[in-house]
């Protein structure tokens, strides 16, 4: 793949994607160029990934065939204004920001600008990412396929109508955070019973990984898989009953609603 992949913003999510892309071998470090506001970040990513770095967003925009905007939602206006006149011909802009609409990104450019709106997640770093995406009609089939190939180098991709992208932070963009909380809570429970901290994290994380693989690979309903664990009158059903009494499912649903509302708010108008 002989193209330049640019990142404006090189924080946690950009680093996860860069790490995932490089680990897959699909792109070489010399093909990736990144800018960020802090010199410290640029030094860190240069040291870690051996990619090209610059303090100039405009240089990244001028060189990139695929240009990732990996900045906070509220940073888009400034950055888009800054780079509006400096996009490489036929570049595809990829935004990863919660709530930021394709129309908003496109409004800073002359007509014909190519925009893909995505919502990735940090497990991209270890090749287990989940990204939902939607493209505007200016992006050709080949260009979209190219963007999909980049994202598939570090995980799975789901193409969706843009109207559904606001729902994605709650289910896969932000949800790793709730799963880490769950793993932490499981590990605390293990420590409470006398297991070591490190054993507890390993046992809890492997159980979560295994349960997720069961859902994906057996194709069975999660309820059926749960039923296979709950022996009549056994220990699991005691735990399940307590989680139901404590409102686990409704807490998750409420948390997801808050997440979606906040994501919409972050995008602004």
Q: Which residues bind ligand NAI (CB under 6 A)?
A: 8-14, 35-38, 41, 57, 70-73, 75, 78-79, 96-98, 119-122, 173
Q: Nearest distance from residue 39's CB to ligand NAI, in Å?
A: 10
Distance, CA of 259 to chain centre? 14
Q: Which is nearer to ligand NAI, 20 or 173 (CB)?
A: 173
70 among annotated binding-site residues: yes
- Closer to ligand NAI by CB, 24 or 72: give it: 72
DSSP 135: E
Question: Hey, which residues between 155 and 174 contact ligand A1CAB (CB under 6 A)?
Answer: 169, 173-174
Contact 150, 66 (CB under 8 A): yes
259 labeled part of a ligand binding site:
no
23 annotated as belonging to a binding site for a ligand: no
d(CA 205, CA 188) in angstroms, rounded, equals 12
Binding partner selected for residue 38 from ligand A1CAB, ligand NAI, none, CB under the kind-specific 5 to 8 Å limit: ligand NAI
For ligand A1CAB, which residue has the nearest CB? Answer: 173
Q: How far is the CB of 73 from ligand A1CAB (least distance, A)?
A: 7
Q: Dihedral of the CA atoms 140, 146, 147, 152 (nearest 10)?
A: 140
Burial 232-262 (b: 16+ CB within 10 A, else e): eeeeeeeeeeeeeeeeeeeeeeebbeebbee
- Among ligand NAI, ligand A1CAB, none, the one that 42 touches (CB under a kind-dependent 5 to 8 A) is none
Does residue 98 interact with ligand A1CAB by CB under 6 A? Answer: yes
Burial class (CB in 10 A: 0-12, 13-18, 19+), 195: middle
Cβ of 215: how many Cβ atoms within 10 Å?
Answer: 12
Instruction: Characterize the bridge pairing of strands 129-135 and 155-159.
Output: parallel
Annotated binding site for NADP(+): 8-13, 70-73
Interacting residues toward ligand A1CAB by CB under 6 A: 98, 169, 173-174
């Amino acid at each position: 793949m002989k193209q330049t992949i640019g990142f404006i913003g090189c924080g946690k999510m950009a680093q996860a994607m860069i790490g995932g892309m490089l680990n897959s071998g699909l792109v070489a470090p010399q093909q990736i160029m990144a800018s960020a506001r802090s010199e410290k970040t640029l030094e860190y990513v240069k040291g870690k990934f051996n990619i090209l770095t610059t303090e100039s967003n405009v240089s990244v925009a001028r060189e990139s065939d695929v240009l990732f905007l990996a900045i906070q939602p509220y940073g888009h206006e400034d950055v888009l204004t800054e780079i509006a006149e400096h996009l490489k011909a036929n570049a595809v802009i990829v935004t990863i920001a919660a709530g930021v609409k394709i129309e908003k990104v496109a409004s800073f450019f002359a007509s014909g600008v190519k925009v893909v709106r995505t919502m990735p997640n940090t497990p991209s770093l270890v090749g287990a990412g989940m990204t939902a995406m939607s493209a505007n009609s200016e992006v050709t089939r080949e260009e979209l396929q190219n963007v999909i190939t980049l994202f598939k180098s570090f995980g799975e991709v789901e193409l969706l109508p843009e109207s559904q992208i606001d729902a994605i932070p709650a289910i896969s963009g932000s949800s790793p955070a709730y799963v880490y909380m769950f793993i932490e809570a499981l590990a605390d429970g293990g420590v409470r019973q006398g297991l070591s901290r490190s054993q507890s994290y390993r046992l809890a994380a492997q159980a979560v990984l295994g349960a997720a693989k069961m859902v994906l690979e057996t194709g069975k309903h999660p309820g059926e898989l749960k039923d296979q664990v709950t022996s009549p009158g056994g220990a699991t059903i005691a735990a399940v009953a307590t989680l139901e009494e404590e409102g686990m499912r409704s807490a998750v649903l409420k948390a997801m609603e808050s997440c979606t509302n906040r994501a919409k708010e972050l995008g602004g108008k």
